[in-house]
Amino acid sequence: MNTARPLPVPPAGRTVSPRSSASPGWRGFGAAVVGVAAGAHRIPGTPYHRIGVHVGAPVRARCRCDGRRVSRIQAHGDMDVIPAGLDGEWTDDGDCTILRIWIDDTFARTTMEQLDASPSRTTLRAQFQLRDPRLQHLSWALRAELEAEEASDALYAESLCTALIVRLTAGVPERDDRRRALAPIMATRVIDYVEANLDQPLTLTELAAVAGLSVPHFKALFRETLGTPVHRYVIQRRVERARALLLEGRLSVTQIALETGFAHQSHMAHWVNRLLGAAPRDIAGAGRRG
């Protein structure tokens, strides 16, 4: 199973993000937006993989890492990928801002081992000034989730991180003989499990295990079968149950938030309003009038 440990924020750099990735309850990976002063910075090897995404105006930069020397103009969205255990030195000619993403090696290995690809295609390697629109999209989505006033379910961030790993390792399944959708009995098993555990934190690893599939394969088949990503389906079911409880009027809004698996009352209010277009108190009021 993927690790369930929260990861510490890597040292070096002044954090400029309004919140840390520990707050949304992410496990096996983390992120922070940090300000880095001009000059040379030596970063030792760590037990986790690191991705550094440049944010903002271009900066002339140099790095020495993995036996290579790289000189470049680092532009918005450019990223360096540093595997676990690899150290290096980065020199920036001006102050800059970096989105730092770190991934526990166990989390990454579990995801990579679940991909039906040759070992050569599932190895995370050092890359410098990588420019990839899909990776940028995933990175900015992870940053938005990190800095959002009302975070989504942690399942969404886990989905983004898993997609990052798959993209970085080019671990696309090589066989094309696998089923395209969840078998009906398998889909029913997963749906029943979600319904029975809506009041608990849910993870991709957990739901994929219920289906007896790898996480990447489960994500793809779930979306094909139900027409929506896993995290979105779970949020929708939480909102629908919250609506039913609000209309019943037996529980307080705070109790309903806990009963439906939201982190807190305002988290529930955010998603209820976003998906139903009404505040929880308005729905509860409609139930009383009815």
178 part of a folded domain = no
Q: Residue 64: its pLDDT value, please? A: 93
Q: Are residues 191 and 277 in the same domain?
A: no
pTM of the model: 0.72
- Rounded alpha-carbon distances, angstroms, from residue 290 to 14, 240, 243, 272, 283: 54, 18, 14, 20, 11
Q: Are residues 193 and 266 in the same domain?
A: no
Number of domains in the chain: 3
Phi and psi of 236, rounded to 5°?
-60, -40
Q: Considering only CA atoms, which of 253, 259, 260 is closest in space to residue 237?
A: 260
Instruction: Give per-residue burial for 247-283: e unless 16+ CB within 10 Å, then b.
Output: eeeeeebeebbebbbbbebebbbbbbbebbeeebeeb
**Beta bridge partner(s), residue 100:** 32, 52
Q: Any idea what DSSP says for residue 10? A: P
11-22 per-position pLDDT tens digit: 455 545 444 455
How confident is the model over 203-229, as a mean pLDDT?
88
Q: Are residues 222 and 263 in the same domain?
A: no
Residue 250's domain is classified under what CATH number?
Answer: 1.10.10.60
Q: Are residues 40 and 73 in the same domain?
A: yes
Q: Are residues 162 and 192 in the same domain?
A: no
37-69 per-position pLDDT tens digit: 899 989 888 888 999 999 988 889 999 998 889
Q: What is the CA radius of gyration of the chain?
A: 21
105 part of a folded domain = yes
Q: Distance of alpha carbon 245 from its chain centroid, rounded?
A: 29
Find the domain containing 257 and state its range: 232-289
Give the span between the Cα atoms of 71 and 125, in whole angstroms.
19
Q: Residue 117: its pLDDT value, please? A: 52
How confident is the model over 208-234, as a mean pLDDT?
89
Q: What is the mean pLDDT of the chain?
A: 82
156-205 per-position pLDDT tens digit: 888 899 899 888 886 444 444 455 788 888 888 899 999 999 999 888 88
